[in-house]
């Protein structure tokens, strides 16, 4: 039996031990092949009508990954001035960027206006603010379709309990505020939330959203948001998200809409996780194994500062163990709690998970860490943010981010 990392040839023959000694741990490792193939998937979900996928770069905003997205012909959405700046730096033209912020100040809106980046406003207040800054301009508004979905309540972004978007009952007011400032609402967008494994909630939201879209005249684009899941339980053979079903069902709804609306505006989507999650892993080292009150703990250098998802949402990530570069794969398993090196009891990658033998100095590989992994890293306990490398299609290794340094942390406080 082979590990997933071996089966999928993720490393293209590179040795984990060699990588660990050259680049250190904890380390993010990406696969150029996988990321390119997922970008292609999302670029081609809708083929019958004008369509553009926007990669949602909050999932992973490494410059090399953004350049790959650009090469694969997807556009991007941005949540902040920082993301807009990165996208411009990666080579995206302003018209290939969609700014979808929440609760931003004038400075961020002005940055988008100065750079001709289409912006979506997600409250009447923000729309008014935008209108004052850019009277006579064009913008989009984000609408709550009333249907939300996601792997955890913290990532559901539509429905009854959310800070995001404009409620359907406030649309008339939004149109009035836009008129007062001579703003043209040329697009509408939605986002139901993050990670559903069946397209059903997304399709239910599409039904509502397209009904609402009929209230707007002359729309140039309709953006449906993202949220497509990936199989985090792949070692238990979880099935992937069915893109073909999505295409079929989504296109059916677009057929009906286009007939009623009279023409097809540009349709868009905003997937983040789907594009990058499976294309990234974390390599970590086991620094201590111990029993506390009969419970087995494997203490690693992959703390909650390196991967926040398990602590934040109780998220599952498959973990594989390597000993002297050989995958440890066995039928006999004992419960292990894999922890990090952070001073919090919640600093756990998993709790009491049946795992093969795991020893001090072994390496662990955390799967499916390419999305909301590095982009949510932080420096708690004054730990350094990890380095990132990419296994290129030809098997070579490219360093795509240096490990943070103590000097950088200290310099940021050198304010005199």
Closest separation in Å from C-beta 285 to ligand LLP: 24
Closest separation in Å from C-beta 1 to ligand LLP: 30
Residue closer to ligand LLP by CB (options 188, 286) is 188
- What does the alpha-carbon distance between residue 242 and residue 198 come to, in Å, rounded to a whole number? 7
Question: C-alpha dihedral over 7, 27, 226, 47, to 10 degrees?
Answer: -50
Other CB atoms within 10 Å distance of the CB of residue 42: 22
Residue closer to ligand LLP by CB (options 124, 195) is 195
Residue closer to ligand LLP by CB (options 273, 285) is 273
Q: What is the DSSP track for 193-243?
A: BS-BSSSHHHHHHHHHHHHHHTTSSS-SEEE----B---TTGGGTPPPP-H
Closest separation in Å from C-beta 18 to ligand LLP: 30
- What does the alpha-carbon distance between residue 10 and residue 366 come to, in Å, rounded to a whole number? 13
Give yes or no for a contact between 17 and 325, defined as CB atoms under 8 angstroms apart. yes
Give the tokens for residue 118. 């289409």
Residue closer to ligand LLP by CB (options 88, 376) is 376
Closest separation in Å from C-beta 274 to ligand LLP: 6
Closest separation in Å from C-beta 226 to ligand LLP: 3
- What does the alpha-carbon distance between residue 360 and residue 17 come to, in Å, rounded to a whole number? 14
Residue closer to ligand LLP by CB (options 100, 166) is 100
350 given a catalytic annotation: no
Residue of 139, 275, 343, 377 marked active site: 343
Residue closer to ligand LLP by CB (options 274, 322) is 274
Closest separation in Å from C-beta 10 to ligand LLP: 21
Closest separation in Å from C-beta 309 to ligand LLP: 5
CA distances from 256 to 26, 111, 190, 204, 214 (A): 50, 38, 19, 15, 12
* List of residues contacting ligand LLP (CB under 6 A): 56, 58-59, 77, 100, 155, 157, 191, 194-195, 225-228, 270-274, 309, 313, 372
CA distances from 143 to 146, 173, 192, 383 (A): 9, 13, 10, 40
Residue closer to ligand LLP by CB (options 156, 338) is 156
**What is the maximal distance between C-alpha atoms in the chain?**
69
- What does the alpha-carbon distance between residue 122 and residue 166 come to, in Å, rounded to a whole number? 6
Q: Write 314-317 long-range contacts (CB < 8 A, 24+).
A: 314/152, 315/151, 315/152, 315/232, 316/232, 316/233, 316/350, 317/232, 317/349, 317/350, 317/366, 317/367, 317/368, 317/369
113's enclosing H/E stretch is: helix 106-114
- What does the alpha-carbon distance between residue 37 and residue 32 come to, in Å, rounded to a whole number? 9
Distance of CA 360 to the CA centre of its chain: 32
Annotate 230-241 with b (16+ C-beta within 10 A) or e (fewer): bbbebeeeeeeb
Q: Which residues are catalytic?
A: 343
């Amino acid at each position: 039996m082979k590990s997933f990392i071996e089966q999928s040839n993720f490393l293209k023959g590179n040795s984990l031990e060699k990588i660990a000694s050259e680049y250190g741990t904890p380390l993010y490792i990406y696969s150029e092949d996988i990321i390119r193939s997922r970008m292609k998937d999302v670029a081609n979900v809708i083929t019958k009508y004008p369509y553009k996928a926007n990669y949602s770069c909050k999932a992973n905003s490494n410059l090399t990954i953004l350049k790959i997205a650009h090469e694969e012909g997807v556009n991007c959405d941005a949540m902040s001035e920082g993301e807009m700046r990165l996208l411009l730096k990666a080579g995206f033209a302003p018209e290939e960027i969609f700014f979808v912020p929440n609760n931003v100040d004038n400075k961020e809106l002005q940055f988008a206006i100065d750079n001709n980046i289409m912006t979506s406003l997600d409250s009447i207040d923000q729309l008014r603010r935008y209108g004052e800054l850019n009277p006579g301009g064009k913008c989009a508004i984000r609408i709550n379709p009333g249907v939300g979905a996601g792997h955890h309540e913290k990532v559901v972004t539509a429905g009854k309990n959310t800070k995001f978007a404009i409620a359907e009952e406030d649309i008339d007011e939004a149109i009035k505020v836009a008129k007062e400032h001579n703003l043209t609402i040329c697009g509408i967008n939605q986002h139901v939330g993050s990670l559903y494994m069946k397209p059903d909630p997304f399709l239910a939201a599409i039904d509502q959203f397209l009904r609402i879209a009929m209230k707007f005249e002359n729309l140039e684009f309709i953006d449906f948001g993202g949220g497509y899941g990936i199989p985090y339980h792949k070692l238990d053979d979880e099935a992937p998200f069915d893109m073909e079903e999505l295409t079929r069902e989504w296109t059916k709804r677009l057929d009906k809409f286009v007939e009623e609306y009279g023409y097809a505006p540009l349709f868009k989507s905003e997937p983040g996780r789907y594009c990058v999650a499976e294309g990234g892993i974390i390599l970590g080292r086991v620094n201590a194994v111990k029993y506390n009150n009969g419970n087995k703990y494997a203490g690693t250098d992959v703390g909650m500062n390196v991967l926040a998802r398990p602590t934040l949402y109780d998220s599952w990530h498959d973990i594989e163990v390597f000993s002297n570069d050989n995958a440890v794969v066995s039928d006999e398993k004992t419960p292990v709690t894999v922890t990090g090196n952070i001073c919090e009891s919640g600093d756990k990658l998993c709790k009491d998970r049946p795992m093969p033998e795991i020893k001090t100095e072994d390496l662990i590989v955390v799967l499916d860490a390419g999305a909301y992994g590095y982009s949510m890293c932080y420096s708690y306990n004054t730990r350094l943010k990890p380095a990132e490398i990419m296994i290129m299609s030809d098997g070579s290794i490219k360093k795509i981010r240096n490990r943070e340094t103590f000097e950088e942390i200290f310099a940021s406080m050198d304010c005199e």
